[in-house]
Structure 1
Amino acid sequence: MRRADRLFRLTQLIRGRRRSTAAWLSERLEVSLRTVYRDVADLQAQGVPIEGEAGVGYRMGAGFDLPPLMFSAEEACALVAALRLAQPQMDPALAAQGELALGRILSVLPPSVRAQAEGLALWVPANGPDAAILQRLGLLRQAIAGRQRVQFCYRDAGAQGSQRTVRPLGCFFWGQVWTLGAWCELRQDFRSFRLDRIDALATQDSRFRHEPGRGLADYLRHAGAPAHALTGGGG
């Protein structure tokens, strides 16, 4: 990769995340940590408002923008493939927005690139979760975004029910089932709940604030998530 291309990609990687560690950037760019440090310093010297430092992580300062990107045929195919794989597992509202976003991207591509992406010979059967689970997924997604507590009746593996009020943190798909990662106010600890065992799900008007030790990154650490998941932009 030419250095100019690498600097452009480095800028895009930092721009696209809340905070990026040098280790994560070196892995994505396939260069050494020393090269990342040097490239960041060069970009800063050229006036790119990259904030942060080695050992802490980097983020892009406010007000920085670049011209719209043009995707290669391979990148466009990857976007089509990703959406086709994900759509059967999404709630209907999110799936529709994904289709709309992809359409906007494809509409500005050269005809040959668009034709190659739309003709990608990769299809996924529409055999995702049933409508009730997708409805719960949509409600939870909105509750997570709005930091709203949710309450529900939960049936464990032995079919024993309990009433729960939780702070929803993230939804996770495991190939067969969706789970909710949350801070459970009944247990005063992190818990994971299968969406197919949740009944009478409802949001509460009360909103929760971020508290140290009870956020998504804390849940991921509690669950033993790999290091790259902890630096994936959640908070």
Structure 2
Amino acid sequence: MSRTTRLFVLMQTLRRYRRPVSGACLAEELGISQRTLYRDIAELKALGADIEGEPGIGYVLKPGFLLPPLMFSEDEIEAIALGLSWVTRRTDDDLAASAGEALSKVAAVLPTELRYRLEDSALLVGPVARPAQVVALSILHRAVREERKLGIAYLDAHGQPTSRTIWPIAITFFESVCMIVAWCELREAFRHFRTDRITEAEVLEQRYPGRRQDMLKAWKKAQSIRQCSSVQY
């Protein structure tokens, strides 16, 4: 275990204890000697961690301290790199650019010994053909974020055009298809619309009634009931 990872694990361990914990207990849990533990605690204090206590009494970490270079373990770094890589390859240009900027910010606060995990991760995302988007996802995302009604021109599965006013509550990304989850005023029910079949979209001034989070819970409940009713006994 590298020194940086060890300090990170020590910080996470101290956060779990609300009362002072002995150095012997911490050393045993981390699998290190007490001498190494005392040196690591001294180093964290030098970096600004508000750790109270001393050998023979115990240690407690005061809340509110966050050490940017130690926010992530090596596995968490690879998970972040994989997730951001997926966003880059599976979403639109705007989200892909945001993912790249986020990756740069993460890299900026990592020490050199961990930064290579972002650049040389063994976890990769394969290429996939993204369906052509007539309407930018950023427009649909804005309607979701602002809880506004959305007027759309849509092509159904048979290619027939239709106009709908919907209350968008979420955007779902699948392997090669993106869908918007919404309440459809025409059908008076939740419906799923493929974003590549939306030919026109206008974010309306009118907000839809209720909170998006509540509607999302209602949709999940409806999905759960539908799945249960389809089970064969």
TM-score norm. by structure 2 comes to 0.63
Structure 1 equivalent of residue 128 of structure 2: 127
Count of aligned residue pairs for this structure pair: 172
- C-alpha contact (below 8 Å) 1:147/1:168 kept by paired residues: yes
Report deviation, 1:116.
Answer: 2.6
Distance 1:111 1:3 in 2: 20
Contact 1:80 1:102 in 2 (8 A): yes
**Which string of whole-angstrom CA distances, capped at 9 and with x for unpartnered residues, describes residues 76-96 of structure 1?**
111111111221122222221
1:213–1:120 Cα change, 3 Å: closer
Matched, 1:186 2:193: no
Could you say which structure has the larger radius of gyration? 2
Contact 1:76 1:106 in 2 (8 A): no
Note the 1:81-100 alignment, pairs <5 A: 81-100=82-101
Query: Of the candidates 8, 12, 24, which is equivalent to residue 15 of structure 2?
Result: 8
Structure 1 counterpart of 2:185, one-letter code: E
1:220 counterpart = 2:220: yes
Aligned residue type for 2:94: A
Deviation, structure 1 residue 140: 0.9
Secondary structure class of the residue paired with 1:113: helix
Tell me how far 1:190 sits from its aligned partner. 0.8
Match of 1:152 in 2: 152
Deviation at 1:156, TM superposition (A): 1.9
What does 1:130-209 align with in structure 2 at a 5 Å threshold? 130-132=131-133, 135-209=135-209
- The letter of the residue matching 2:85 is R
Greater alpha carbon shift after TM alignment, 113-122 vs 204-213? 204-213
Q: Secondary structure at the match of 2:158?
A: coil
CA deviation map 1:171-220 (0-9, x unaligned):
11222311111011111111111112221122112222425997111112
Preserved CA contact (<8 Å) 2:184 2:191: yes
Q: Distance in 2 between matches of 1:66 and 1:165?
A: 47
Alignment partner, residue 24 of structure 2 = none
**Distance change >3 Å, CA 116–CA 93, structure 1 → 2:** same
Match of 2:114, as an amino acid?
Answer: V
The letter for the 2-side match of 1:167 is: W
Q: TM-score, normalised by structure 1?
A: 0.63
Q: Give % identity.
A: 29
